[in-house]
């Protein structure tokens, strides 16, 4: 293979073709918008592709619910959308019974609301357990709530490649722990934490636990009710393909809902929003975690993708996800490692979610050139190229194409 050849070795190209031929989900790719100029899109763990059906649904919404029903649509359908779509998310990807999931705000805002509500429900417990490798917005919210409430964050410093292990959490748990906040899937390495194990350990210490599922929802089976999780949040623009700025969602276990008070008391979380009365009275159940007017328009792409996920089935989606990341790791080991690339994601597929982190000092410039070529993964400091693999919209051929360009750029870089 010539250095400047952008193709992978024939064996890998043929394996990709075989895997596509055998892929039981291969027909779903055609339901996404696939522009010619994008050779390979490997960033669905940041922003998922749009569905073709959404283009038509948005047009119908403008003419129908918005353009013709107008303000009447609030009572007819829109006011119920946050919990209706929440229940769809709960059923399709969270393993959550109805009445426990609501769509609203952004992940950051919902994180603040649930973290604050949780620590206020544990007065006298002055510690929050978190980790230094979590996404910045989680760390910033936790630091702010700790400052607001006179609490201390106990930071775990996990090995970036392995993520937070139960023993590291247990070492910090005590009767001073109010809340444990972790990402189920690490945003850099894609490490899948032991959600049931850590949840049980937190409960043994009398603490609440909140899971950030941004990199899990839609690509990893979660099982919130089965694991007796208290609280969870997630975004919907990654593997739920809700589109840029799509709303987030929150899960609050039924047993906790009427015992928690969230700090942003807005009219949409009121028991009777249109009474417009003098006093705030929280709505019963999950609606009390709403604050302002729901992002109705922004829920349309999300509804379409949840329908697709239910058609495909999360077990099949997870199985393809594992095949895709296994293929990426095999190419990295056999073709990229001789060029200095290191796989910085778990080797065990049971602990690896929907993306793979490949490290090399040249990755920042490699990603810049890849984007110019229409090959779109993303870069995370200090030296990580993230290969995001959305199972329903990504083909093995597309993945092989992308990795061929990565190889060629590393093989021909000067210096």
With respect to ligand 3DJ, which residue has the nearer C-beta, 244 or 338?
A: 244
- Contact by Cβ (8 Å): 27, 319: no
DSSP-assigned letters across all residues of 259-282: T---S---GGGBSSGGG--SS--B
With respect to ligand 3DJ, which residue has the nearer C-beta, 106 or 149?
A: 106
How many angstroms separate the Cα of 389 from the Cα of each of 23, 71, 135, 243, 283?
14, 40, 19, 16, 39
* Residues tagged active-site: 135, 212, 237-238, 386
Give the interface with ligand PLP as residue ranges (CB under 6 A).
106-108, 135, 137-138, 183, 187, 212, 214-215, 235, 248
The residue number whose beta carbon is nearest to ligand 3DJ equals 187
With respect to ligand PLP, which residue has the nearer C-beta, 183 or 257?
A: 183
Strand 152-156 vs strand 40-41: parallel, antiparallel, or unpaired? unpaired
In angstroms, give the least distance from the CB of 233 to ligand PLP.
8
In angstroms, give the least distance from the CB of 279 to ligand 3DJ.
36
Residue 248 interface partner, choices ligand 3DJ, ligand PLP, none, CB cut-off 5-8 Å depending on type: ligand PLP
In angstroms, give the least distance from the CB of 18 to ligand 3DJ.
31
In angstroms, give the least distance from the CB of 116 to ligand 3DJ.
22
Work out whether 46 is an interface residue with ligand 3DJ (CB under 6 A).
yes
x/- mask, ligand 3DJ, residues 76-115, rule CB under 6 A, reads ----------------------------------------
With respect to ligand PLP, which residue has the nearer C-beta, 215 or 407?
A: 215
As given in the structure block, the two tokens for residue 293 are 């007017």
In angstroms, give the least distance from the CB of 249 to ligand PLP.
11
How many angstroms separate the Cα of 107 from the Cα of each of 55, 233, 240, 322?
25, 6, 14, 26
With respect to ligand 3DJ, which residue has the nearer C-beta, 234 or 404?
A: 234
Residue 236 interface partner, choices ligand 3DJ, ligand PLP, none, CB cut-off 5-8 Å depending on type: none
In angstroms, give the least distance from the CB of 247 to ligand 3DJ.
12
With respect to ligand PLP, which residue has the nearer C-beta, 100 or 183?
A: 183
Q: How many other β-carbons are positioned within 10 Å of the β-carbon of residue 55?
A: 12
| Residue 388 CB-half CA count within 13 A | 26
Of 396, 323, 394, the C-alpha closest to 34 is 394
- Contact by Cβ (8 Å): 206, 177: yes
CA dist., res. 116 & res. 230, Å (int):
14
With respect to ligand PLP, which residue has the nearer C-beta, 137 or 143?
A: 137
Of 415, 407, 414, the C-alpha closest to 3 is 407
Q: Which of 187, 289, 327, 396 binds ligand 3DJ (CB under 6 A)?
A: 187
CA dist., res. 249 & res. 238, Å (int):
13
Summary count for the chain: helices (H), strands (E): 13, 13
- Put the strands of the sheet holding 355-359 in their side by side order: 342-343, 355-359, 384-388, 378-380
In angstroms, give the least distance from the CB of 356 to ligand 3DJ.
13
x/- mask, ligand 3DJ, residues 198-237, rule CB under 6 A, reads ----------------x-----------------------
CA dist., res. 383 & res. 371, Å (int):
17
Cβ-proximal residues to 171 (8 Å cutoff; 6+ apart), any chain: none
Residue 108 interface partner, choices ligand PLP, ligand 3DJ, none, CB cut-off 5-8 Å depending on type: ligand PLP
Residues that bind ligand 3DJ (CB under 6 A): 46, 187, 214
């Amino acid at each position: 293979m010539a250095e400047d050849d952008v193709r992978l070795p024939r064996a890998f190209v043929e394996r990709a073709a075989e895997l596509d031929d055998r892929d039981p989900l291969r027909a779903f790719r055609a339901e996404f918008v696939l522009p010619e100029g994008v050779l390979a899109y490997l960033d669905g763990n940041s922003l998922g592709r749009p569905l073709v059906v959404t283009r038509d649904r948005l047009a119908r919404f403008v003419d129908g619910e918005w353009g013709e029903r107008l303000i009447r649509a609030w009572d007819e359908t829109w006011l119920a959308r946050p919990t209706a779509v929440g229940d769809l998310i709960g059923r399709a990807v969270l393993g959550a019974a109805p009445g426990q999931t609501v769509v609203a705000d952004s992940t950051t805002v919902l994180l603040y609301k649930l973290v604050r509500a949780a620590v206020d429900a544990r007065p006298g417990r002055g510690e929050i357990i978190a980790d230094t490798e979590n996404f910045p917005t989680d760390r910033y919210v936790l630091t702010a709530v700790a400052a607001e409430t006179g609490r201390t964050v106990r930071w775990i410093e996990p090995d970036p490649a392995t993520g937070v292990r139960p023993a590291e959490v247990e070492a910090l748990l005590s009767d001073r722990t109010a809340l444990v906040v972790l990402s189920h899937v690490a945003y850099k390495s894609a490490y899948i934490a032991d959600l049931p194990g850590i949840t049980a350990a937190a409960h043994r210490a009398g603490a609440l636990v909140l899971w950030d599922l941004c990199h899990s929802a839609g690509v990893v089976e979660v099982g919130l009710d089965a694991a007796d999780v208290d609280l969870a949040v997630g975004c919907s623009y990654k593997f739920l393909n809700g589109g840029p700025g799509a709303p987030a969602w929150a899960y609050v276990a039924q047993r906790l809902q009427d015992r928690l008070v969230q700090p942003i008391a807005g009219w949409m979380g009121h028991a009777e929003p249109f009474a417009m009365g003098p006093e705030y009275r929280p709505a019963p159940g999950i609606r009390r975690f709403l604050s302002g007017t729901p992002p109705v328009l922004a829920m349309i792409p999300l509804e379409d993708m949840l329908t697709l996920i239910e058609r495909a089935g999360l077990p099949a989606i997870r199985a393809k996800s594992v095949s895709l990341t296994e293929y990426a790791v095999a190419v990295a080991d056999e073709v990229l490692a001789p060029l200095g690339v290191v796989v910085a994601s778990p080797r065990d597929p049971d602990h690896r979610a929907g993306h793979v982190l490949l490290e090399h000092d040249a990755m920042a410039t490699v990603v810049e050139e890849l984007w110019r070529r229409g090959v779109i993964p993303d870069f995370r400091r200090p030296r990580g190229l993230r290969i995001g693999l959305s199972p329903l919209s990504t083909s093995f051929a597309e993945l092989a194409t992308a990795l061929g360009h990565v190889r060629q750029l590393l093989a021909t870089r000067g210096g």
